[in-house]
Amino acid sequence: MNNKVIFFDTTLRDGEQSPGASLNIVEKMEMARQLAALGVDVMEAGFPISSPGDFEAVKLIAKTIKGPIIAGLCRASEKDITACWNAVKYARKPRIHIFLATSDIHIEKKLQKTRAEVFAMAVHAVKFAKKLCDDVEFSAEDATRTDVDYLCSIVEAVIAAGATTVNIPDTVGYTVPQEYGALIGTIRTRVKGIEKAVISVHCHNDLGLGVANSLAAVAAGARQVECTINGIGERAGNASLEEVVMALKTRRNFFKLDYGINTREIYKTSRLFSSLTGIPVQPNKAIVGANAFAHEAGIHQDGVLKERRTYEIMRPEDVGVPASKLVLGKHSGRHALVSRLKDLGYRVKPADVVSLFDRFKVLADKKKVIYDDDIVALAEQGIKQPPATYCLEYLNTSSGTGVIPTATVRLMVKKVIVQEAACGDGPVDAAYKAIDKITGIKVTLADYNLRAISGGKDAQGEVNVRVERNGVTFTGRSTSTDIIDASAKAYIQALNKIAAGAR
């Protein structure tokens, strides 16, 4: 048996059926390029007959994307199959993917046919598709609720008709790992000619078992997994590609299977899809969530600092995440606090650690997130703070429809007035660029938050900014009835913290 697991990505088809996840042609192309960079073996580009736009998107992907097999989905009808072929035929490696329900509830209630009629439809559809394309996949929709004898007979028949891949989908997320693994084993044992086709699995996550079921099927002999980025998909979603592949990588001693995914592209791919759809990744999502490699508990932080493997079974860089994060909060320990202060350039005397840690705990009870400059402020309490390096003396901005936003900024820098002007995407961006010209401090604006702190037309606006420089974060805050003024002062406050550290 082949020891390589084929990754069939259906983000652009099943994933796009998730409410709010629709992509236009340009967005689909951008995502398709990244999926190719990720190294998916098969890319299901869409459902060509579903709309003219989907047809054109599948066709463009087939013409443009090199590397993966490009598949299109179709029902078991000549019209659907022909439309699918006309879209995917431009690919170097095209595939026609036919689906047809096989469970009694679908046959009787949805299709309103008999088992015999569905059997004949499946065989005819595969034979028709085979005349157009050498690579034909057949999916027995709702296979996990299908009578096993009937399922085996229809799988055997479509293989004889020319199907090169047979998919046994858990369409409604009904099965459980032990049961699903046994079903795959039964198909391998009972279906004549099964060695001529790849057994595929397509698991939905209605009971939260999509990944577990997929891995159970792989262990039982399935060699293609159909999955999506971030586990996106209809209802509760599909099996998550990143979770399946990292399970194979992390537990290679158990599965002993190969794959072609470039795992270092996982995080980038996840973030791109989230950005294109506007669907955020939950913080505690395995592999790609913001907290996947973050540690706040003091015991965990202490363990990770001593030996990463105590609490991390994967390296963050293996999935494209730059590094683990020690999130400082009320559950953090002294070791983590002292370690972060060392990273920030502070050496704490052993005699001062207890007092510093006590003050840190008091602050952590008040704040949900502790930033680097909060820690610096704790370390510097009692030390006379240096005067601000930069003071805003003058700010003027102009913007409007048909006008390029510009800003003129005048700062007092060590008793010398310095003035610069700049253009930007908006008045705040222009002001920040002008300030950057004066200070010469290169930072990345990591977060910008504006909120009203009072009611009425003359409400004050509070601006909070977070900037990063050389891996260290600094925050600034200012309030004003003029949000441009508040934005500039908050930014300058963060830069002053950086300048003070530099001295």
Are 140 and 237 part of one and the same domain? yes
- Top pLDDT among 487 and 289 is at 487
Mark whether 334 and 475 lie in a shared domain.
Answer: no
**What is the CATH number for 397?**
3.30.160.270
pLDDT, tens digit (0-9, with 9 covering 90-100), for 411-450 = 999 889 999 999 999 999 999 999 999 999 999 999 898 9
pLDDT tier, 348 (very low <50, low <70, confident <90, very high otherwise): confident
State the pLDDT confidence band at 142, using cuts at 50, 70 and 90: very high
Question: Looking at the domain assignment, is residue 63 inside a domain?
Answer: yes
Cα dist from 299 to 211, 291, 480, whole Å:
29, 16, 43
| Position 406 in a domain | yes
Question: Residue 251 and residue 170: Cα distance in Å, rounded?
Answer: 24
Mean pLDDT of all residues belonging to the chain? 88
Of 228, 247, 277, the residue that ends a domain is 277
- Domain end point (choices 277, 305, 323): 277
Q: What is the mean pLDDT of residues 208-222?
A: 98
Cα torsion 214, 215, 216, 221: sign? positive
Question: 364 and 395 share a domain?
Answer: no
Angle between helices 241-250 and 266-277 (to 10 degrees): 170
Q: Is residue 289 part of a domain?
A: no
Please state the rounded mean pLDDT for residues 482-487.
92
Same domain, 442 and 403: yes
Q: Does residue 89 lie within any of the structural domains?
A: yes
Confidence class for position 299, pLDDT limits 50, 70, 90: low
Same domain, 349 and 447: no
Q: Who contacts 320 (Cβ-Cβ below 8 Å, separation ≥6)?
A: 263, 264, 265, 266, 267, 268
Q: Mean of the pLDDT values across residues 482-503?
A: 86
Give the pLDDT confidence of 81-136 residue by residue, as tens digits.
999 999 999 999 999 999 999 999 999 999 999 999 999 999 999 999 999 999 99
353, 379, 405 - which closes a domain: 379
Residue 375 shares a structural domain with residue 394: no
pLDDT of residue 337: 78
**329, 427: one domain:** no
List beta partners, residue 416.
413
Q: What was the pLDDT predicted at 382? A: 41
Residue 290 has pLDDT above 60, yes or no: yes
Q: How many domains does the chain have?
A: 3
Query: Can you tell me the mean pLDDT for 61-67?
Result: 97
One domain, residues 11 and 102: yes
**Percentage of the chain lying above the pLDDT 90 cut:** 64
Distance CA 411, CA 419 (A): 6
Does residue 1 surpass a pLDDT of 50?
yes
Question: Is residue 88 one of the residues assigned to a domain?
Answer: yes
| 11 and 94 together in one domain | yes
Q: What is the pLDDT of residues 6-41, one digit of tens each?
A: 999 999 998 887 776 778 888 899 999 999 999 999
Q: Is residue 384 part of a domain?
A: no
Please state, in angstroms and rounded to a whole number, the distance separating the CA atoms of residues 465 and 450: 9
Of 79, 93, 189, 183, the C-alpha closest to 136 is: 93
Q: Is residue 241 left, alpha or beta, with left meaning phi > 0 and alpha meaning psi from -120 to 50?
A: alpha
Quickly state the pLDDT bin for 328 (edges 50, 70, 90).
Answer: low
Q: What's residue 402's pLDDT?
A: 86
The yes-or-no verdict on residue 58 having pLDDT over 90 is yes
Strands of the sheet containing 390-400, edge to edge, are 390-400, 403-413, 416-423
- Is the pLDDT at 384 greater than 50? The verdict is no
- Answer yes or no: do 84 and 229 share one domain: yes
Judgement on whether residues 187 and 72 belong to the same structural domain of the protein: yes
Token pair listed for 74: 């179709």
| Confidence (pLDDT) at 316 | 80
Domain-embedded: residue 287:
no
What average pLDDT does the segment 274-281 reach? 85
Which of residues 306 and 221 earns the better pLDDT score?
221
Q: What is the pLDDT averaged over residues 243-249?
A: 97
Q: For residue 385, is it within any domain?
A: no
Kindly report the CATH number assigned to the domain that includes residue 155.
Answer: 3.20.20.70
Least confident of 152-156, 186-190, 303-307: 303-307
What is the DSSP code (8-state) at residue 258? B
Structural domain of residue 322, as residue ranges? 294-379
- Whether the CB-CB separation of 192 and 209 falls below 8 Å is answered with no
215 with 323, same domain?
A: no
pLDDT of residue 317: 83
Report DSSP letters for 421-490, one per residue. EEE-SSHHHHHHHHHHHHH----EEEEEEEEESS-STT--EEEEEEEEETTEEEEEEEEESSHHHHHHHH
User: What angle (nearest 5°) sits at the alpha carbon of residue 158, between those of residues 255 and 163?
Assistant: 60
Q: Among the listed ranges 49-63, 129-143, 315-329, which one has the minimum average pLDDT value? A: 315-329
Tell me 313's DSSP state: S
pLDDT-derived band at 474 (thresholds 50, 70, 90) equals confident
More confident residue, 476 or 491: 491
